[in-house]
Amino acid sequence: MLVAFPVRVAPERVRSLLSNPDIPDELRGVAREAMTALQPAAPGHGPVLTDDRAPVEQLTHEMIARRDQLRPVGGRD
């Protein structure tokens, strides 16, 4: 899971946000896991994945194509 902000945010603040009691019940487990695995990225190491450098569209198209191959002809979700 990647958590990103437009400005620098201290890890303590992110942990505070993830432990907010107003988080919906269905997201608490994910928030708890994210909180324990939280690691700040090392500046200058590795690529920055922005919309123009991440294959989001390609991955989405591949998922849809795989889903459509598994769907019975004339079937519905």
What does pTM read for this prediction?
0.49
What is the predicted pLDDT for the residue at 72? 63
What is the predicted pLDDT for the residue at 47? 67
What is the distance of C-alpha 73 from the center of its chain?
32
Domain spans, the chain? 11-70
Kindly report, residue by residue over 36-66, the tens digit of the pLDDT: 888 877 777 776 666 666 677 788 888 888 8
Separation CA 19–CA 29 (nearest Å): 10
Provide the percentage of residues in the chain whose pLDDT is more than 90: 13
Provide the percentage of residues in the chain whose pLDDT is more than 70: 78
Separation CA 75–CA 3 (nearest Å): 37
Kindly report, residue by residue over 6-38, the tens digit of the pLDDT: 888 888 898 899 999 999 999 999 999 988 888
